[in-house]
Structure 1
């Protein structure tokens, strides 16, 4: 497949684009996971504030959400290289700021650094959409899912770098727990270089060749454009709702599972094993979800994902404190259901809007899913503290069916309009 005006082989460019995105995703995912893995411990041991240890994760999630729109605005105006490159660079800068914060023992500076570190997450999320810019409609799900799958490498390897990076930091006269942030700065900077050097030609710019330019790059204008495009398409609304709900349910239950297990005396190693199983469910099977989304359809895969999420919270919510096979299975299914919804709904969202509006729509989607997950994670702690882990899972089950309700309402509205 080639473009008639430039004689560019789009198939070859797409293959190269996906390869570059996979490389940057491995680097970025490794950098974020390595740093965040020790964030809470750093606050506890260096700053002596165990009560504030959860703020590192919260600031990173919030930073990723807030940086989604600036990255999308850059993509709208200049292409994917600019949006992804700047986001990864901000992530690297944030990791450096966190190292300085650890050395100077300034907690506010650490939170600023981890918020900027969210740029790596924002880039990783938007990279999945970049894989669809030149993909044929019947292969968009697979292209997107391969980039999501590549996150597995960084998510698994990153936390295991805490020991070696700590020793490296000590040899340089730096606080040992700042070592993972130091590694994060290097690998996320590498991610920025990979996308800036490798995404040539830029897939979004090439996909929009001959089309009218998108809206100006101002953040508010881009957000308004994205929401206008979403609200005007029932399929886009369904896709957005599915992404936001699945992500919120997953984060809310996952973040409180270690607490639930620790109350029953589960060891750190057992808790780590269960979370690793959960992460495998999130990423390892995403290519299968992409294949199903292309072959069976986006909506059926989303519905299947919701069913898996309901099974997950049923197993988790009925599991006692500590470790059990049911809880392990529930966390695995929680990741699997998230994967199905994220891959299929993200592909549906891309399908449902015009090419010139896609970066704005995708940025708005990442902003909303990040804010919802941050709020859900914070609320989950309150729910578990006052009512228990089982009540949290019951609430998650209620939230999980929202996409199905929205889908029915939108279908009826379309039928009436027709």
Structure 2
């Protein structure tokens, strides 16, 4: 009886708390700002977990099996695990809120990293591959965390929220690889193989990221956003026909947002994957390859705050078109520029990263704009599955294209493919402008 009374009191308290947010836009903005701080903290740790493990995953598999033929398997497993986890994290977030969905995803990634360490100790390939698959959950969660800051953001704040999550991921992603040697020495000191050391860091980082979200992300911004949306829908006097039209428009926006992110991911990974091989064929050393890829990764994340500002101020459609044009220029430059010129290679790969950055932030904003809270997290998870799979497909097909043709052909194909985004986003943008008169304010 006492348990029943306590549960009733808890439900009543939660309802009262939600009502206070529904009635106060000031409280909504306070929670939005607090959510951004929590997301930034978690993403710093999440980025470290992502980068530290990926840096040595292929080397660990190579070392345990004694052959180069398996070096691509860890990346494939990360991707497969990431795709499956994206779907599950999206479903969990839709049902239980961002706090639970993201915390479970990061904790699963941490458990996967622990499994990798144990596999290295036992020299078990089966456990290694299974653990790498689970470790991919951290990758998916790291990407989906960018949505958490947008739940209570108004339309003019959403891209900024996305960009803050991406920039904070960069801090961890830069720190992780730089700690590889330190963690290797630490691993040896406790009797663990050196290459498993970074996965100790990954496990700790992912678990801390999950705990930060689970403990601090209260009240859950997604649950609050759904309560606000439900209250507004109840008080709305829109006609059924208008609601049906809005639903159709939202589907078109979802397609446009997904297309931007999926195509930019495909083009970026296809060209990036084969650039080190292309450079090796033209006698560039590992230091030069590292420099080019370093500029590329920097361009993927560091401009995020500026990109977020531009997406919010200039518009989603404009920045999505800018993504397509930037990727096109990058592909053409990579194809026709002198292969022995470091300036050309750095410029081409930096533009490739920048075009991806424009596409991910504008595409995410379009997707959030086009989904009501009642289906938002589930839809976001499904789209992130497509993003992960498109990246894997782009990376896989790129090798076949270069093997049967050339790096120039691959780059030109990527450039032309990126231009498909322009008619897609223009069509969705014009439809969205026609819908503004009937749009329900979230």
2:419 to 371, 394, 401: 401
Cα distance in 2 for partners of 1:323, 1:92 equals 41
Cα distance in 2 for partners of 1:235, 1:128 equals 19
Q: What's 1:379 paired with?
A: 397
| Residue 3 of structure 1: how far off its partner (Å) | 2.7
Deviation per CA, 1:89-109, whole angstroms, max 9, x where unpaired?
111011111112222233332
| Residue 352 of structure 1: how far off its partner (Å) | 1.2
Please report the RMSD computed on the Cα atoms of aligned residues, expressed in angstroms.
Answer: 2.4
In structure 2, the CA distance between the partners of 1:240 and 1:176, relative to structure 1 (3 Å rule), is same
Is the Cα–Cα contact under 8 Å of residues 262 and 322 in structure 1 kept in the other structure? no
Cα distance in 1 for partners of 2:77, 2:196 equals 17
Deviation per CA, 1:105-153, whole angstroms, max 9, x where unpaired?
3333222222211111111111111110011111111111111111111
In structure 2, the CA distance between the partners of 1:391 and 1:230, relative to structure 1 (3 Å rule), is farther
SS at match of 2:21: coil
In structure 1, list runs of 5 or more residues that go unmatched: 214-228
SS at match of 2:158: helix
Is the Cα–Cα contact under 8 Å of residues 226 and 374 in structure 2 kept in the other structure? yes
Is residue 89 from structure 1 mapped to residue 107 from structure 2 by the alignment? yes
Is the Cα–Cα contact under 8 Å of residues 339 and 345 in structure 2 kept in the other structure? no
Q: What's 2:308 paired with?
A: 290
Q: What's 2:12 paired with?
A: none
SS at match of 2:182: helix
SS at match of 1:201: coil
1:141 to 156, 159, 164: 159
What pairs with 1:115-264 in structure 2 (closer than 5 Å)? 115-212=133-230, 233-264=251-282
In structure 2, the CA distance between the partners of 1:183 and 1:394, relative to structure 1 (3 Å rule), is same
| Residue 11 of structure 1: how far off its partner (Å) | 1.7
Q: What's 1:317 paired with?
A: 335
Deviation per CA, 1:65-104, whole angstroms, max 9, x where unpaired?
1110110111111100111001101110111111122222
SS at match of 1:353: coil
Higher alpha-carbon deviation: 103-112 or 174-183: 103-112
Deviation per CA, 1:369-410, whole angstroms, max 9, x where unpaired?
111111111111111222121111122112212222334566
In structure 2, the CA distance between the partners of 1:262 and 1:298, relative to structure 1 (3 Å rule), is same
Higher alpha-carbon deviation: 303-312 or 95-104: 95-104
| Residue 46 of structure 1: how far off its partner (Å) | 3.0
Q: What's 2:31 paired with?
A: 13
Is the Cα–Cα contact under 8 Å of residues 22 and 227 in structure 2 kept in the other structure? no
What pairs with 1:359-378 in structure 2 (closer than 5 Å)? 359-378=377-396
Is the Cα–Cα contact under 8 Å of residues 26 and 150 in structure 1 kept in the other structure? yes
Cα distance in 2 for partners of 1:121, 1:21 equals 15
Deviation per CA, 1:254-279, whole angstroms, max 9, x where unpaired?
11111111222222222111111111
Q: What's 1:222 paired with?
A: none
In structure 2, the CA distance between the partners of 1:134 and 1:105, relative to structure 1 (3 Å rule), is same
Cα distance in 2 for partners of 1:294, 1:136 equals 10
Find the structure with the greater CA-based Rg. 2
SS at match of 1:247: helix
Cα distance in 2 for partners of 1:415, 1:30 equals 40
Cα distance in 1 for partners of 2:92, 2:307 equals 29
Cα distance in 2 for partners of 1:199, 1:232 equals 28
Is the Cα–Cα contact under 8 Å of residues 47 and 105 in structure 1 kept in the other structure? no
Is the Cα–Cα contact under 8 Å of residues 156 and 276 in structure 1 kept in the other structure? no
What pairs with 1:296-307 in structure 2 (closer than 5 Å)? 296-307=314-325
Cα distance in 2 for partners of 1:279, 1:411 equals 29
Count of equivalent residues: 402
Is the Cα–Cα contact under 8 Å of residues 260 and 322 in structure 1 kept in the other structure? no
Q: What's 1:65 paired with?
A: 83
Higher alpha-carbon deviation: 302-311 or 113-122: 113-122
In structure 2, list runs of 5 or more residues that go unmatched: 1-19, 232-246, 436-442
